Amino acid sequence: MGKPTGFMEFGREPAHVRPPLERVKDWGETHPGYEEATLRDQGARCMDCGIPYCHSGELVNGLAMGCPIHNLIPEWNDLVYRGQWREAIIRLHKTNNFPEFTGRVCPAPCEGSCTLGISQPPVTIKMIENEIIERAFLEGWVVPEPPLSRTGMKAAVVGSGPAGLAAAAQLNRAGHAVTVFERDDRVGGLLMYGIPNMKLDKSVIDRRVKLLEAEGIDFVTGTAVGLDIAAEKLVKEYDAVVLAIGSTVPRDLKVEGRELAGVHFAMEFLVANTRALLGGPATPVSAAGRDVVVIGGGDTGTDCVGTAIRQGAKSVVQLEILPRPPETRTADNPWPQWPKVYKVDYGQEEAAAMWGADPRRYLVNTRRLVGDGGGHVKAIETVEIEWVHAPGGRLEMNECAGTEGSLPADLVLIAMGFTGPAPELPAAFGCKLDHRGNIVHDDDFMTTTPGVFAAGDCARGQSLVVWAINEGRLAARAVDKFLMFGESVLPDY
C-alpha cells in the first residue's frame, strides 16, 4: 500500500499546531489543516508491511494493539497517496461512523502498532483520517443516507455519547426506528460537554447530529430516563433498549479537607465551562487569578490544565501518583502494544510556554487539603512516594520520609478517573452490576434484563472514544439479530 519506497523518501510530518501562547487566548481548535501534497506524501509512507497491525484492534496484556474499530488504514492511506479522496472516505466510513471525532480526540493506538514505528516515526494515521473526513464534508460528499425501507421495529438508545450515537446510527441503517434519549440539553454526551472545545469544536458534533436526524433518527434531549420517563415505559414501548450512559461516577479524593470550597471534580469544572461557551449560565467554577492544582495525570487532567490556562489561572500544577514514563519503550512494553512513553500533550505544552516547565509532578501523593480559616481551600500538603513490590508481587505505595511539601492551591480539580455508571438507571431497568460497578452483559451485549443491551463505558469501564464507537456498533448488530430472528445486515466489526 502507498508508494513502495515512500517510507524511505519522506519523513513523518510534525503535527501542525498553532503556537501555544497564541492558542491559549481563545477556545478554537489547536490544529490547522495540511496541504494536499503533504498529505499525499504522508500517505505514501504507509508500507506494504504484510500484516497491518495498525487495524488489528486487540488487547494484549491489557494494552490496545491497533485500531479498535478496525479502520482499513492501509487502504485509505493508499487512496490518499493516489489522490482518490472520494474513495478514501467510502473506505473510512465502512468502519467508522464518526471519523471527525476520532480524528481529533483519539490517542491513535493505530500509530502505536504501525510497522514502520519499529524503526522510524510511524505513519501519521490520525492526521490523515481527520483530513479525509474534513475534505469529504468540504466537497459535499457526506450526505444523509436514510435506509431504503423500515423493519417496523423500534429501538431506544439511552445516552448520546459516542457509543449511543454509533449504536443509533447502525440500528437506523438496518431500518429500525431509533429514538435517542439524552438527559442534557444538547446531543453528544461526553463529546459535547466532557471534551473541551479546543480539542473538539462543538459545531463538529452538531454537523454530524444534523445528518443523523436527516437519516431518520429522533433525538429527545432534556429527558432523564428513570426520572422524566420511566424505564418500564421504554421497555414496554420499544422492541429493544440500548443503555449507553457512560461511566459518570468520579473517583473521589478521600483526604482531610475534601469538603472545603474550591475543591471540585474535573467534570464539574469542564462541563460548566463548555456550557458557558455555548451560551449557557456563566461558569460557577473559574480558575481566573487562582493557583490551580490538578490531581490526576490522564486526558481529563490535561483538559483541566488547558481550560484553567484559558480562564486566566495564576499558576497550574498537575500531580501524578505514577512515575514519569520512559522516553522509549521498555522491554515489557514491546511493539505492537500501545507505547507507554513520555508524551507532552497540548495542556502541558501550553503550561510550559506560560511558566517555563511541564506542570506535571510525578510520584506525588496528596496528604491533606488545607483551608484558609473561612472554609475555602488554600493549599495542598503533599509527600513523594515510591512503588515497591509487596509479597506476592503486588505493588504498594510507600511514602518517602523527609519529602513532605506544600503547594498553594485555591482551586483543586480532582481528575482521578471514573468508577462506573450512576447505579440508579441500571437498577431501574433491573440490570445487574459487576464488582467494579459496570453493567453486566453477555457476549451479545444483552444485560440480565431481556431486550435491554449495554455498550460503551457503562459496560466496559472508563475507556477511549474509539472503543465506545466500536461497542456501539457491535451492540447494534446484536440488537439487529435479536429483532430480526438471528439475522443481521450490519457488519460484525
**Span 386-429, pLDDT tens digits:** 999 888 888 999 999 999 999 999 999 999 999 999 999 999 99
Beta-strand relationship, 177-181 and 154-158? parallel
Please give the grid coordinates belonging to residue 104: 481529533
Please give the grid coordinates belonging to residue 170: 447502525
Same fold across 154-248+419-483 and 263-414: yes
Cβ neighbours of 448 (radius 10 Å)? 16
Spell out the domain ranges in the chain: 6-139, 154-248+419-483, 263-414
What is the model's pLDDT at position 392? 83
Q: Match 437519516 to its residue by C-alpha cell.
A: 215
Helical (H) or strand (E) element with 384: strand 377-389
Q: Where does 247-356 show beta strands of DSSP type E?
A: 263-265, 291-295, 315-320
pLDDT in tens, 219-262: 999 999 999 999 999 999 999 999 999 999 999 999 999 999 99
Q: Match 485555591 to its residue by C-alpha cell.
A: 410
Q: Are 242 and 455 in contact (CB under 8 A)?
A: yes
What is the model's pLDDT at position 71? 96
Beta-strand relationship, 395-399 and 263-265? unpaired
Please give the grid coordinates belonging to residue 72: 482499513
Helical (H) or strand (E) element with 137: helix 125-139
pLDDT in tens, 122-151: 999 999 999 999 999 999 999 999 999 999
pLDDT in tens, 274-332: 999 999 887 789 999 999 999 999 999 999 999 999 999 999 999 999 999 999 999 99
How far is residue 410's CA from residue 370's CA, in Å, rounded to a whole number?
10
| pLDDT > 90? residue 472 | yes
Provide the greatest CA pair distance for the chain: 71
Integer CA distances (angstroms), 433 to 27, 205, 470, 482, in order? 39, 31, 21, 22
Which residues are 316's β-sheet partners? 292
Place 63 in a pLDDT band, splitting at 50, 70 and 90. Answer: confident
Beta-strand relationship, 360-362 and 377-389? unpaired
pTM assigned to the model = 0.96
Place 48 in a pLDDT band, splitting at 50, 70 and 90. Answer: confident
Q: Which CATH superfamily is domain 263-414 in?
A: FAD/NAD(P)-binding domain (3.50.50.60)
Average pLDDT taken over every residue of the chain: 96
What is the model's pLDDT at position 283? 75
What is the model's pLDDT at position 33? 87
Query: How many residues comprise the chain?
Result: 493
How far is residue 409's CA from residue 376's CA, in Å, rounded to a whole number?
10
How far is residue 319's CA from residue 313's CA, in Å, rounded to a whole number?
16
pLDDT mean over 345-357: 97
What is the model's pLDDT at position 3? 86
How far is residue 362's CA from residue 370's CA, in Å, rounded to a whole number?
21
Q: Are 270 and 304 in contact (CB under 8 A)?
A: yes
Q: Are 232 and 348 in contact (CB under 8 A)?
A: no
Q: Are 74 and 1 in contact (CB under 8 A)?
A: yes
Q: Are 199 and 346 in contact (CB under 8 A)?
A: yes
Which residues are 180's β-sheet partners? 157, 219
pLDDT in tens, 147-206: 999 999 999 999 999 999 999 999 999 999 999 999 999 999 999 999 999 999 999 999
Q: Where does 153-284 show beta strands of DSSP type E?
A: 154-158, 177-181, 218-220, 240-243, 263-265
How far is residue 465's CA from residue 190's CA, in Å, rounded to a whole number?
9
pLDDT in tens, 34-45: 999 999 999 999
For the domain made up of 154-248+419-483, give the CATH fold: FAD/NAD(P)-binding domain (3.50.50)
pLDDT in tens, 79-92: 999 999 999 999 99
Cβ neighbours of 280 (radius 10 Å)? 15
Helical (H) or strand (E) element with 479: helix 465-483
What is the model's pLDDT at position 1? 61
In three-state secondary structure terms, 246 is coil
Q: Which CATH superfamily is domain 6-139 in?
A: Alpha-helical ferredoxin (1.10.1060.10)
